[in-house]
Structure 1
């Protein structure tokens, strides 16, 4: 079984469903409100665990009621939480507005995630023992860099989701095996709007790039080869929250199992397509049997 370490955020998603998102200074009436366990790190951990990997979550929750719920949600999906710290104060939260077209707008309050500024010996040991490490940018950057360097020192393949997008230091990029931005993040990182051109720029820093394109699929590029567009399954989106994390978590499982890149991307795209047809983030993520059936 593939072993995956996830160093990332754990948040409670506070989700409001509306016909359309409000503009600046505008108030609209929503039709539903939900609290759903989330956070990019936790979402990727759940996606990978449900897809069949052995997953350990490295991060922090608060000592509030949300923290208890977040830990229990991870454990329910089969994620190890013995390295998930409990910090004084509130857990992280994400305030999400989802419109009738399945689009979303998100404000993240880091909470306990902001306390993850460095790693302990047990956490670096868990990274060293994994087959792959999944990283995002919702934790303080020093901890992300430390985790990536620990992985590189032991030959552990690292997949980075550069979200929320920010300037990536060379000390981090030097440790990344696969960079998975969406098209907006790729443009922000490179200053280039065309995904193919953006991929070419990113390949100067990392060996492999997968740019997700929403309903259009994803663009894969590796050094020494031409970029390849992989279309996504055609589905009607209900809620796109968590789709990118589902894609990354299941892609990690497929790559960890040694699947060829085209097969791995198709499998991950199928998982993401299942996710967007259901409301919520972690709650919408499919299990391995569902992905295989598609």
Structure 2
């Protein structure tokens, strides 16, 4: 498997990611142990992790230039994580290194019996702070960047938002609509649904007749589900017509199914969401159509699930599984 830095697509803008890096200690077990039990692992791997690092590794392997702004400790784990990202083609030259401290790390237990994974995260210190970002660093890291990916820097704040349920919506489709209503400049919202695929609500500029009545978003979702082929092994995309929705929103709903991975090939779901995000970033930078971008991201996420850890089986752009999208 060659480094994607040799396969970068010339002339494409840069994807910048800002977030935490951590080191994943992955072990597979025949079944999850009960308390006070000793058990033998069946395989073990140490690999870089963290949502931002995983997503950017995916972007780099697909052939786009990517750079990361993060903070690591001046320890062996921190140096190892940066070297691994560099070997995958991610530019780490803008990362901040703390003198002292400790890097984040994560224990991941993969249960071969149930195909589930359990994560135990140990936060490091110190965090990336605004004082770390000088004006010259900000100007340099943003130079040529088209897409910025950030997943939140405060776990406590993110947990609080999740508990408060920002949209106060009772269903997933209505939550997506609520976000478009509250954020009028937002073009689309995507929600991943694990083994059930994903869903996108896209704002459209196409005019609809003023006489057209508002369509209930939940009824639209149910109708769209009825015409979606959930039995397909490969991801399929189904979209509604552009319609008038509540809150003066004109848009369409899109459903994409997940790839059905045979149990003999399903190894570990760690990082599947990050792979999906990395593929979306690629699709945005290369101007993929919405339906193609979502189906592509679903395929990339499925590739990730076929190996241990978040980065082991992230595909390069010449992967035959992606030939239908990238012409590899």
TM-score range relative to shorter protein: 0.7 to 0.9
Post-superposition CA distance 1:28-69 (Å, at most 9, x none): 523333211111111111111111111111001111111121
> Does residue 21 of the first structure (1) align with residue 21 of the second (2)?
no
Aligned to 1:265: 294
More helix by share: 1
Identify if the C-alpha distance between structure 1 residues 68 and 214 changes in structure 2 by more than 3 Å, giving closer, same or farther.
Answer: same
Identify if the C-alpha distance between structure 1 residues 31 and 189 changes in structure 2 by more than 3 Å, giving closer, same or farther.
Answer: farther
CA contact 2:26–2:308 (8 Å) conserved in 1: no
Aligned to 2:257: 231
> Does residue 210 of the first structure (1) align with residue 190 of the second (2)?
yes
CA contact 2:58–2:314 (8 Å) conserved in 1: yes
CA contact 1:15–1:96 (8 Å) conserved in 2: yes
> Which one is further off, 123-132 or 80-89?
123-132
CA contact 1:166–1:189 (8 Å) conserved in 2: no
Q: Give the Cα separation in 2 of the matches to 1:261 and 1:289.
A: 22
> Does residue 292 of the first structure (1) align with residue 322 of the second (2)?
yes
CA contact 1:11–1:39 (8 Å) conserved in 2: yes
Identify if the C-alpha distance between structure 1 residues 228 and 186 changes in structure 2 by more than 3 Å, giving closer, same or farther.
Answer: farther
> Does residue 275 of the first structure (1) align with residue 304 of the second (2)?
yes
Structure number with greater Rg is 2
Aligned to 1:75: 86
Post-superposition CA distance 1:139-188 (Å, at most 9, x none): 348xxxxxxxxxxxxxxxxxxxxx994345xxxxxxxxxxxxxxxx7995
Q: Give the Cα separation in 1 of the matches to 2:164 and 2:285.
A: 28
> Does residue 45 of the first structure (1) align with residue 56 of the second (2)?
yes
CA contact 2:15–2:65 (8 Å) conserved in 1: yes
> Does residue 166 of the first structure (1) align with residue 155 of the second (2)?
no
Shift in Å at residue 129 of structure 1?
A: 3.1
CA contact 1:92–1:111 (8 Å) conserved in 2: yes
**Which of residues 138, 148, 152 in structure 2 aligns to 1:133?**
148
Q: Give the Cα separation in 2 of the matches to 1:108 and 1:244.
A: 17
CA contact 1:36–1:280 (8 Å) conserved in 2: yes
Q: Give the Cα separation in 2 of the matches to 1:218 and 1:2.
A: 26
Q: Give the Cα separation in 2 of the matches to 1:227 and 1:22.
A: 42
**Which of residues 71, 76, 91 in structure 1 aligns to 2:103?**
91
Shift in Å at residue 194 of structure 1?
A: 3.1
RMSD of aligned alpha carbons? 2.5
Structure 2: unaligned runs, 5 residues or longer = 1-11, 204-249
TM-score between the two structures when normalised by the length of structure 2: 0.70
- Tell me how many residue pairs correspond in the alignment: 254
